Chains A and B, each alone.
Chain A
Amino acid sequence: MRKLNITKILTVVCLVGFMAFLPAAGAEEYEYIDISNPFLRKIPTAIPRFKNMSENKKGEVLSVKLADSLSKTLAFTGYFKMLDRGAFLADPRNPDITATRINFRNWTVIGSELLLTGGVAADDDYIELELRMFDTFQEKMIIGKRYKGRESNLRQIIQRFCGEVMFHLTGTRGVFNSRVAFVNAEGGVKEIFISEFDGYNPRQFTTNSDLSLFPAWSSDAKWLAYTSYARGKPDLYIMNIKEKNGAVVTRKGILITPAWVPGKFELAATLSFSGDQEIYLLTGRGKIIKRLTTSRGIDVEPTWSPDGKKMAFVSKRSGTPQIYIKNVVSGRVRRLTFEGRYNTQPNWSPRGDSIVFSTMQLGRIDIYTIGVDGKDLRRLTEDQGDNEAPSWSPDGSLIVFSSNREGISKIYVMTAFGTDQRRLISLPGAQTSPKWSPNIANQ
């Protein structure tokens, strides 16, 4: 309750801030980032330490800490090349943070195309932040925001501003309001955990002391469906994340790989009560609406197009596991993958145009993307152990996956083009099956 109130206060404060610092007109005109491959050229960006406007010790500490936090959060997206503060020409002791005072030549000369400045004023209870983004060549402010909150809100404030930055550069608010669910294995027990988008604060979600697998987020990010052996066999659990209650769907055979239909309280999952592993459409309460696949043999791992009209899935109908796309409106099914003999784990991009999946070849598993039209097959991982279970970020710019490149399986993240591969979660034990959530409203 308390947190909710603070969030409300924060929201109000942010709205006030928004009005106080109207962005420079025509910011949307700029084409900063080439969506086709934004990672080929990262934007050189400078974030000097913030100005301490309260001139107390707390402000002093925060002026560095928050600048670092802003830098790290933005760098996570893979879009930016953060310039080394040691190379800055401006006086780090007394940074200029407003357009009228900034000498833009100091920044263009070191190659910085974007400049982000901050001012921080801290008293015992509250912290006020002014954050701005400038186009150094155009010499103008693109975004200006003022925030006020408690120290516990700072991470959220920085993320909110980063969302603004991404919105101005790419047209979407990025991944900062999202989370990652994954499976954590320790001592034969697999539990589902949920962390922030950047791996921060991983928390245990299931407590079944058994096998819990295949987490799947509803498109409002309020529900998590997964498979658990808590009752002795693989059943389907559909849980409200906040309330921690919901439905357990149990039938003869397996109930695995749930995937929520975008915008609906419905999900597809593989059930085998008929003796054959087929994909069914279920209500969020677990009632079968209809059967979606009809071929003999394994049909698993459904994933939905953003409009909910098509479903990609894995089928063994041609003899080896391959990815197919079914138009659930027309009923037409077509095969998507033809290369390789073991293509599984498809995940449809929230941008709609591409599907990420894994291929096993010569005993090694690697991640590829393929256009929904079957063209433009791209390999994203290579020569670094097995790389599995890819899942798109809500803006379609990043992919989270698991890899055993360092020995035990851990969770990693990379850009949609396979660049900037790095570890996301630092927990002991093995982590697998990551699923990136949609952006969470009113976090």
Chain B
Amino acid sequence: MRKKLWIYLALLVVIPGLMFTVSCAKKVTQAEPSAEETAVEPEVDTAARIAEEQAAQEEAARQWEMAAEEDIEEQRQAEDAAKEAEMQQDMAAAKQMFENEDIYFDFDSSALEMMATEVLKRKADWLFETADASIIIEGHCDARGTEAYNIALGDRRAESAKAFLVDIGVDESRLTSISYGEERPVDPEANAEAWAKNRRVHFVIE
């Protein structure tokens, strides 16, 4: 019985103790926020400034970056333009070469010489690269010989060039041939040099 009494006594001591402890703990936790409030206030102020500074810095950096980016874009555009111009120049040059480079024939002949086939291969390359282009193949003769026969001969010359291009894969629908006979000489002089220049097939881009 006495043992029970001691336990009750002990309990009587421990419980209020526990209760005190709990209340005490409560008090501490209650006190802490108030202490923090006073201490944190100035600290918030600093953080805002830092954030502001940081933002400003970031903004500056961004601005710099943008400026840099803009510069790069400009540079790129300039480069592109240059490249484009160069490409166009190349294309124009290729086009010009295409139109300026004639093939030549012997008198009263429509047979393609070795040189002519080399030129025609280059024409084909250009035509493969420039898939949307159609061309006119003009057959011409020198002033010697007679008019009608020369129109027939010019027709054969243009047809020889056309057949060669078709053989190496150029779509025939892109090629139109026309004969001018002796009607349109590049050199109107009456000498061997002029005649050689006039016996030609000329290419025109449509």
Contacts and interface: CB of A to CB of B under 8 A. Distances in A.
24 contacts: A190-B183, A232-B178, A233-B178, A254-B179, A256-B148, A256-B151, A256-B152, A272-B159, A277-B155, A298-B149, A298-B156, A300-B149, A300-B152, A301-B148, A342-B145, A344-B145, A344-B146, A344-B148, A344-B149, A345-B148, A360-B145, A365-B146, A389-B147, A432-B147
Contacts of B147: 213-214, 388-389, 432-433
A314 interface: yes
A358 B152 contact: no
Contacts of B145: 342, 344, 360
Interface string B136-167: 00000000111111011101100100010000
B198 interface: no
A156 B84 CA distance: 73
B108 interface: yes
A400 to B, nearest CB: 16
Interface string A294-308: 000010110000000
Given A272-B155, A298-B156, A320-B108, A257 B148 contact: yes
A314 B150 CA distance: 12
Given A254-B155, A272-B152, A298-B152, A211 B146 contact: no
Contacts, number: 68
A253 interface: yes
A321 B159 contact: no
A403 interface: no
Contacts of B163: 275
Q: Is the interface of A mostly helix, strand, loop or mixed?
A: strand
B146 A389 contact: yes
Nearest to B148: A257
Nearest to A345: B146
B106 to A, nearest CB: 13
A234 B146 CA distance: 16
Interface string B162-182: 010000000000000111000
Nearest to A365: B146
A112 interface: no
A300 B144 contact: no
Contacts of B152: 254, 256, 270, 272, 277, 298, 300
A321 B108 CA distance: 9
B67 to A, nearest CB: 58
Interface in A292-329: 298, 300-301, 314, 320-321
B205 to A, nearest CB: 15
A378 B144 CA distance: 22
Given A211-B183, A253-B155, A277-B155, A301 B178 contact: no
Contacts of A234: 151, 178-179
Contacts of A363: 144
Interface in A418-439: 432-433
